[in-house]
Structure 1
Amino acid sequence: MTTAEDAGQDAGHQRVVAAQGKAAVLREALPWITRFHGQTVVIKYGGNAMIDDELKRSFAADVALLHFVGLRPVIVHGGGPQISALATQLGVASTFVGGLRVTDAAMMDVVRMSLLGQVNPELVGLVQAAGAPAVGIAGTDAGLLQVRPAVGPGGEDLGLVGEVDHVDTSYIDELLGDHFLPVVATVGRDADGNERNVNADLAAGAIAAALGASKLVYLTDVEGLYQDFGDPERQSLMSEVSAGGLQAMLEAGELHEGMRPKVRSIVQALADGVPQAHILDGRVLHAVLIEIFTDEGVGTMITPGAARPAVVAS
């Protein structure tokens, strides 16, 4: 046999091995695809995944894949980085209390411009470019997010910030029934007809509970939840924690301010019947697919109950 023939056989063998590897990945995903077929998954889109171009395109394609294999994804987004950038550009000061953005009339204009004029149409366009029929909606559409005035953890006045009172899922249900992929911008309306800025973490949890979602997924800029966070000698990533354990961490003040709305949202969503929630590192390509369709998963999974947290080495 000639050297050229040997090289040809080696190349052919490598292609077969590579193809078998891809087939194995699909085979591993099959039980999970079967399990979650027809189930609703609410994904809170945020962190670096919404500002890095590669991560944005990858996320959109991954969500399109979820749609095409039979899941019913619903994307819920805020726009913290975009709101802050536009506020700075327009000379509007940003202030936070308990992880929530204080929102006066000027900031509400910035929120509206950022979410409805920038983030939502861009994300819808990316998902559509990936082949899925995405539709952008606002929490003010069809009474989706009905809110009341929110206050800070110490009773602080937050201005035009809304706390979700009720979620009317009829519009989302209609879109899902017609095989569309809803992309929700988190502004809501109060009983007096005022638009209010709604924290996207809290909105995602309320929407997941109202839809009876099988999973609630948060994309963040950290690997997950840490025990003893900030102590380099002791901190460890929690692979799994119960809602009871999470509530205890919240009450003990063990969580970073920006993580508190997520944790509040998760604890409430699980209390309202969502079976599990996940905090994922949105900087990892395909984090959502890895979590849903592989045996290993990534990040931290939160389940109902009061079990002690499981940790992995930091």
Structure 2
Amino acid sequence: MDDLIQKAATLQEALPYIRSFHGEIFVIKYGGHAMVDPALRDSFARDVVLMKYVGLHPVVVHGGGPQIDQMLKSLGVVSERLEGLRVTDDHTMEVVEMVLGGKLNSEIVSLIASHGGRPIGLTGKDDAFLRAKKVDQMQTKSGKWVDPGRVGAVTQVNPDIVRRLVDDGFIPVIAPVAVDAEGRSLNVNADTVSGKVAEALSARKFMLLTDIEGVRGMDGDVASSLSASEIDTLKHERVIEGGMIPKVECALNALAGGVRKVHVID
């Protein structure tokens, strides 16, 4: 009984928030340990379903880097990363599609459905809603320029299919695989995709779930908020580097594109 009373009190406290954001789209980048730990996976799915039931419109974009790494390792394939982006040859691309668009996407869809949601899994190849152009060259930390393979930079997001799903009561669950002008699959960073999707949907909020507490400042403490100029300084001083770079860049781009708030949370 005490547990029920506590839950009722929590809902009462959340009522102004629910009223303020009713009918708004929230894009959630789902990744990190929350995709691995069973309890966190279940909690995430329940929270997404609850958001839908109280009148918010969650759109999930998921990553899967560790799971791809595990699959590549089991196949004896060596995978290299450049500034947070995976070098992707044809064989690696097949594995990326298999893990992201197949195994992980269906697992997330099933888990959300088990809690009463109506999820629909899709990739950027569906209705070609996520277009990208191959990145020809990338520079390593040592200054060397290399061809990253089938790595893409998002050039266009056609949100119509996602909007239709949202309007019909579904919860879109998007795997970050895009297509180029010739219809070839490209590996695109999940953080970047989620930001572009948030921008295209004019999302009220964009949330990046990570394994870390947030973005740290020059003093090493987690910053409650950062300006664009502060982020540029932290990147220049290499306080922000590696996999955090795509996160802060997509956050800035999403804000510039009309998204009202971006949160980086663990």
1:162 alignment partner, one of 152, 168, 174: 152
Structure 1 residue 244 displacement after superposition? 3.5
Distance (whole Å) between structure 2 residues aligned to residue 18 and residue 83 of structure 1 = 39
Structure 1 residue 21 displacement after superposition? 3.4
**Residues 247 and 37 of structure 1: CA distance in aligned 2, closer, same or farther (over 3 Å):** farther
**Residues 159 and 23 of structure 1: CA distance in aligned 2, closer, same or farther (over 3 Å):** same
- Give the equivalent residue in structure 1 for 2:138: 152
Report the AA paired with residue 206 of structure 2: L
CA displacement, residues 34-85 of structure 1 (integer Å, 9 cap, x when unaligned): 1111000000000000011111111011100001100010000121011000
Q: What TM-score do you get using the length of structure 2 for normalisation?
A: 0.94
1:221 alignment partner, one of 186, 195, 211: 211
Report the AA paired with residue 156 of structure 1: V
For the 8 Å contact 2:191–2:246, the answer to whether it is kept is yes
Q: Tell me if 1:94 matches 2:94.
A: no
Distance (whole Å) between structure 1 residues aligned to residue 11 and residue 90 of structure 2 = 50
- Give the equivalent residue in structure 2 for 1:104: 89
CA displacement, residues 226-264 of structure 1 (integer Å, 9 cap, x when unaligned): 113xxxxx4211112223322332244321311011111
Distance (whole Å) between structure 2 residues aligned to residue 22 and residue 97 of structure 1 = 45
Identical residues among aligned pairs (%): 43
- Give the equivalent residue in structure 2 for 1:240: 225
1:52-131 map, 5 Å? 52-131=37-116
Distance (whole Å) between structure 1 residues aligned to residue 62 and residue 94 of structure 2 = 17
Distance (whole Å) between structure 2 residues aligned to residue 97 and residue 80 of structure 1 = 13
Structure 1 residue 116 displacement after superposition? 1.6
CA displacement, residues 201-231 of structure 1 (integer Å, 9 cap, x when unaligned): 0000000000000111011001111113xxx
Report the AA paired with residue 41 of structure 1: F
- Give the equivalent residue in structure 2 for 1:141: 126
Question: Equivalent residue of 2:225, what SS?
Answer: strand
Distance (whole Å) between structure 2 residues aligned to residue 20 and residue 237 of structure 1 = 34
- Give the equivalent residue in structure 2 for 1:300: none
Query: Structure 1 residues 243-252 or 98-107, which shifts more?
Result: 243-252
Number of residue pairs matched by the alignment: 261
Q: Which runs of 5+ in 1 are unaligned?
A: 1-14, 229-233, 282-314
- Give the equivalent residue in structure 2 for 1:39: 24
Report the AA paired with residue 138 of structure 2: G
Report the AA paired with residue 40 of structure 1: I
Question: Equivalent residue of 1:217, what SS?
Answer: strand
Question: Equivalent residue of 1:239, what SS?
Answer: coil
Structure 1 residue 18 displacement after superposition? 5.3
For the 8 Å contact 1:43–1:218, the answer to whether it is kept is yes
The CA RMSD measured in Å over matched residues stands at 1.4
For the 8 Å contact 1:243–1:266, the answer to whether it is kept is no
Distance (whole Å) between structure 1 residues aligned to residue 93 and residue 108 of structure 2 = 21
Q: Tell me if 1:29 matches 2:51.
A: no
Distance (whole Å) between structure 1 residues aligned to residue 175 and residue 72 of structure 2 = 18
1:180-259 map, 5 Å? 180-228=170-218, 234-259=219-244
Distance (whole Å) between structure 2 residues aligned to residue 19 and residue 108 of structure 1 = 48
Query: Structure 1 residues 96-105 or 155-164, which shifts more?
Result: 155-164
Q: What TM-score do you get using the length of structure 1 for normalisation?
A: 0.80
Structure 1 residue 153 displacement after superposition? 4.5
- Give the equivalent residue in structure 2 for 1:284: none
Report the AA paired with residue 186 of structure 1: P
Report the AA paired with residue 267 of structure 1: L
Report the AA paired with residue 147 of structure 2: D
